């Protein structure tokens, strides 16, 4: 089966000045890129011709870090993202509870609240959630994924009391007498609540994944990630893959302690696709979030004498995980928001590199990734260059939480968040992610952020770190493919590569830089098959 695309701008991402007339797709792969006359000469009888009518064709976007399984689950939870007060939270949850009609034993779950944008400028406590129900367990998740709040019923059912100690790398919020107030910070503490919560959520995971995939497709994405998959989570993904639920390519990074067992149980998925799912490697979480003031910094937060956040793991634990990854030959991704966490990750790789003469080249071949890179220092970017480490930058922080970072980090450190230009100038193969479901996977918005660096309030933030449009597009196409070791088959429009493509309503390279986020995805194509077409009610700003 052949499809010939012509009649519009074609952005190949091979070279910025590349401007072919046509792209020919044969049996799901690109077979020719170039002059229209030659493309037509190569067409077989019955080939379909598609006139772009002035629209733009380019490679589909590649998500280098998100959590598709979490997004899938969230599709059945109460969305608290637009709440602006404790009262809003309680009303939204109460309305959801009336509509949802939970089965006996289920938990009411909400997601997406952000204390930074609530009138009270603080996290809610169990008292707020107790207003929703004093008989049903209630749990709400912070938009960052690093905090949650439980009501009194849930705290009681999970056995969290004044005598419950704070685990290493996490903490329970408390009243003055030590009684838990419902606020819970970071994964080691949150699992005490979230494991029982998610075990009681009754849902059709395959149906949820279908909905989640449509969200990615809406934004022109055809390769997505499940970062931080645990062993039981991968089992669920594999069951869905067996039933051929996936239309997109899904790359799972299994939590480091679960990887070896998972790879042994599911060898058909290890470092290769099977039914559109593969295990790409392992994931570490080394600290928290800067907007939640739990990211681990080298110097104290603004207004603090000594508080720098805190690590999720010791240096010894991190050294062990890194040494194992290098020894066994798998890629490692590490969540590092604070520069102290970045330092811990780099130190572990430098230690591993020094073990044998072969290890430095082995590490470069594995392409380790530092996820988020919010406060990474220029000195640390230099170290990353030596190691061949990839910075995956959550550059949309500049808009979503730029004002918060200026407050939490001060004007100098705050302006240096998400240092894309510093990474680019060092020759690092950076990419950009949205960390969905933290924010929607709008890659054109992240391109806008990388190019403009403006906060929600309209303040410029670290303008010296702005990059050009083409360089920003690399971060969501070919550089994303490189992070997955897939640059030979994805990320550009070239003969021999998969026909993973997106049609946009205009050319980003010819669009005013402040209007980049208004560009609309019209159609998303995976291996020559159209999986998404824009509906009139989905248009941006409508």
CB of 82 closer than 8 Å to CB of 113: no
The three-class DSSP label of residue 336 is strand
Average of per-residue pLDDT across 400-423: 98
Q: How are strands ordered across the β-sheet holding 331-336?
A: 61-62, 221-229, 249-255, 277-285, 331-336, 369-372, 390-393, 431-432
Residues 292 and 400 reside in one and the same domain? yes
User: Are 309 and 184 found together in one domain?
Assistant: no
CA 283 vs CA 33, 208, 325, 347, 513: distances in Å: 37, 23, 10, 17, 34
Which pLDDT score, from 0 to 100, does residue 502 have? Answer: 99
Distance CA 183, CA 166 (A): 12
Q: Which pLDDT tens digit goes with each residue over 372-391?
A: 999 999 999 999 999 999 99
Range of 145's domain? 77-199
Q: Give domain status of residue 412, yes or no.
A: yes
Residue 339 within any structural domain of the chain: yes
For residues 93 and 109, give the distance between their C-alpha atoms in angstroms, rounded to a whole number: 8
Q: Is residue 17 one of the residues assigned to a domain?
A: no
Total domains in the fold of the chain: 2
State whether 191 and 338 are in the same domain: no
Does 516 fall in a domain? no
Which domain-ending residue is among 151, 174, 199? Answer: 199
pLDDT at residue 243 in the model: 98
CATH number of 459's domain: 3.20.20.140
Q: Which of residues 143, 174, 199 is at a domain's end?
A: 199
pLDDT digits (tens, 9 = 90+) for 456-500: 999 999 999 999 999 999 999 999 999 999 999 999 999 999 999
**362 burial class (0-12, 13-18, 19+ CB within 10 angstroms)?**
middle
Q: Express each pLDDT in 327-354 by its tens digit.
A: 999 999 999 999 999 999 999 999 999 9
pLDDT tens profile 235-283 = 999 999 999 999 999 999 999 999 999 999 999 999 999 999 999 999 9
520-527 mean pLDDT: 99
Q: In this predicted model, what pLDDT tens digit does every residue of 157-207 receive, in sequence order?
A: 999 999 999 999 999 999 999 999 999 999 899 999 998 998 888 889 999
DSSP 178-199: S-EEEEEESHHHHHHHHHHHHH
Question: Per-residue confidence at 541, pLDDT binned at 50, 70, 90?
Answer: low
For the chain, give the mean pLDDT.
Answer: 96
Q: Look at residue 43 and tell me if it is in a domain.
A: no
264 belongs to a structural domain: no
Are 185 and 297 within one domain? Answer: no
- Say if residue 542's pLDDT is above 60: no
CATH of the domain at 90: 3.10.310.70
Residues 209-218, mean pLDDT to the nearest whole number: 98
Structure tokens at 481: 């493919």
Pairwise CA distance, residues 316 & 439, whole Å: 33
pLDDT, tens digit, for every residue of 281-322?
999 999 999 999 999 999 999 999 999 999 999 999 999 999
Task: Provide CB contacts within 8 A for 534, sequence distance 6+.
Answer: 520, 521, 522, 523
Q: What is the DSSP letter of 512?
A: -
Residue 268's alpha-carbon distances to 191, 275, 441, in angstroms, are 30, 10, 29
Residues 6+ apart with CB under 8 A from 76: 201, 203, 208
Hey, what are 316's tokens?
């010894």
Indicate if the pLDDT at residue 540 is higher than 80.
no
Q: How far apart are CA 455 and CA 115, in angstroms?
A: 17
Establish if 13 belongs to a structural domain.
Answer: no
| Residue 200, pLDDT score | 86
**Whole-number pLDDT of residue 100:** 83
Query: Within this chain, do residues 306 and 193 fall inside the same structural domain, yes or no?
Result: no
Last residue of a domain, one of 441, 467, 493: 467
Residue 158 lies in a domain: yes
Q: Are 193 and 290 within one domain?
A: no
Please indicate, yes or no, whether residues 430 and 309 belong to a single structural domain of this protein: yes
């Amino acid at each position: 089966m052949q499809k010939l695309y012509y009649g519009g701008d074609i952005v190949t991402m091979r070279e910025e000045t590349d401007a072919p007339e046509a792209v020919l797709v044969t049996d799901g792969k690109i077979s020719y890129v170039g002059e229209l006359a030659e493309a037509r000469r190569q067409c077989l009888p019955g080939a379909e011709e598609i006139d772009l009518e002035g629209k733009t064709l380019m490679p589909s976007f590649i998500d280098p870090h998100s959590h598709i399984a979490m997004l899938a689950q969230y599709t059945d939870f109460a969305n608290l993202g637009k709440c602006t007060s404790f009262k809003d939270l309680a009303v939204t949850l109460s309305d959801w509870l009336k509509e949802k009609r939970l089965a006996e034993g289920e938990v009411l779950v909400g997601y997406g609240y952000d204390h930074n944008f609530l009138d009270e400028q603080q996290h809610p406590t169990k008292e707020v959630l107790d207003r929703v129900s004093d008989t049903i367990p209630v749990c709400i998740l912070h938009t960052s994924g690093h905090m949650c709040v439980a009501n009194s019923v849930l705290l009681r059912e999970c056995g969290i009391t004044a005598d419950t100690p704070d685990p290493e790398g996490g903490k329970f919020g408390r009243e003055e007498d030590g009684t838990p107030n419902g606020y819970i910070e970071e994964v080691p503490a949150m699992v005490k609540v979230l494991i029982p919560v998610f075990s009681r959520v009754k849902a059709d995971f395959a149906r949820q994944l279908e909905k989640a995939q449509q969200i990615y497709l809406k934004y022109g994405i055809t390769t997505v990630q499940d970062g931080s998959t645990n062993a039981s989570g991968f089992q669920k993904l594999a069951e869905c893959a067996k039933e051929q639920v996936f239309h997109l390519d899904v790359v799972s990074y299994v939590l480091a302690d679960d990887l070896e067992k998972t790879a042994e149980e599911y060898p058909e998925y290890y470092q290769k696709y099977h039914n559109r799912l593969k295990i790409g490697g392992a994931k570490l979480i080394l600290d928290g979030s800067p907007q939640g003031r739990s990211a681990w910094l080298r110097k104290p937060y603004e207004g603090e004498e000594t508080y720098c956040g805190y690590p999720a793991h010791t240096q010894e634990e991190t050294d062990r995980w890194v040494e194992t990854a290098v020894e066994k030959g798998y890629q490692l991704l590490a969540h590092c928001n604070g520069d102290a966490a970045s330092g811990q990750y780099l130190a572990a790789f430098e230690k591993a590199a020094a073990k044998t003469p072969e290890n430095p080249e082995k590490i470069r071949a594995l392409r380790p990734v530092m996820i988020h890179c919010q406060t990474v220092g220029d000195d640390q970017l230099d170290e990353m260059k030596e190691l061949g480490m990839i910075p995956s930058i959550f550059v949309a922080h500049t808009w979503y939480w730029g004002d918060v970072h200026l407050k939490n980090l001060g004007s100098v450190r705050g302006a240096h968040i998400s240092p894309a230009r510093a990474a680019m100038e060092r020759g690092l193969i950076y990419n950009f992610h949205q960390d969905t479901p933290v924010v929607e996977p709008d890659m054109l918005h992240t391109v806008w952020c990388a190019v403009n660096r403006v906060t929600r309030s309209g303040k410029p933030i670290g303008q010296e770190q702005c990059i050009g449009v083409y360089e920003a597009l690399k971060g969501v196409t070919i550089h994303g493919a490189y992070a997955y070791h897939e640059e030979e088959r994805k990320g550009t429009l070239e003969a021999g590569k998969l026909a993973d493509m997106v049609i946009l309503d205009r050319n980003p390279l010819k669009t005013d830089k402040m209007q980049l986020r208004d560009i609309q995805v019209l159609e998303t194509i995976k291996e020559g098959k159209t999986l998404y077409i824009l509906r009139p009610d989905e248009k941006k700003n409508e």
